[in-house]
Each structure stands twice: as structure tokens, then as C-alpha cells.
Amino acid sequence: MTYFLLYFLTLSVVICGTALYLTRARWLPFISVPDYIFDRLPSSFADDIEAGLTSSQFDISSNVLDGDPRAGLDDQAKREVRRIMKRRRVDFDEARRIYIEQRFAKNNIGVDGRPRDPKFVSFS
């Protein structure tokens, strides 16, 4: 009887673990990740390059070559872009595009860059 119970529990854990692993794309984004995990993000352009926060479309290597003394990319934006890259499994350019579209939507700006304000008047 004890072996049957042990076998049943082991098999149940393996089946549940496999099901959770295979469906992790659905439930993983709902788990909140503490901000202290992202506190060790790079703080210079050279560190940003090493962390993969650059691409051919967004090249910051010239900043490093020119000796730019600034602290690097915005920490909050880096956190959010890295979070998007991890959750959606996209590259840096796609994550940056998604981040900018989210910021635009938050500020009531269309994807094309024009404000969605009904009082907005534009002369072209």
C-alpha cells in the first residue's frame, strides 16, 4: 500500500511539473518579479552593450568610442525592455518597439506619432 501511494505521488508530481513546464508561456507573465532582481542593471553605455541592449538599428557603440561620460540608458526603460524581451521572447529591437508603443498609448499618442486628442489641429 505504501509503495502504491509513493508511486502515485511521484507520478502526480511528474505529470503536474510537465504540464506546468509546457504551459509556462501562459502563466509565467502573471507572476510578479521583485524589482530588486533588476537593480544590478548596467550603468554605462559599455555595460549596456555587454547586456545586449544594442542592435544595428540602435547602435550605442559610438557613444563608447567617443568617451561619452553619461550614465547609459534610462534604468526604468532598461528594466521594462528587458522584461518585455524575457516575457515575450523577442529581440532588443522588437522589445524597444513594443515599449515605445506602450509609452505612446499611455500618453494618448497614436502609433504613427500623432496625438489622439480630438482638439488637436495639424497643418501640413
The model's pLDDT over 16-67, given as tens digits with 9 standing for 90+, comes to: 999 999 998 888 778 776 666 555 555 666 666 767 777 777 777 776 677 7
Tell me the CA distances in angstroms from 99 to 7, 50, 77, 115, one per residue in order: 48, 21, 8, 17
> What SS3 class is residue 115?
strand
Closest CA to 69 of 51, 43, 50: 43
User: Cα separation of 38 and 80, whole Å?
Assistant: 10
How sure is the predictor about 6, in pLDDT bands with cuts at 50, 70 and 90?
A: very high
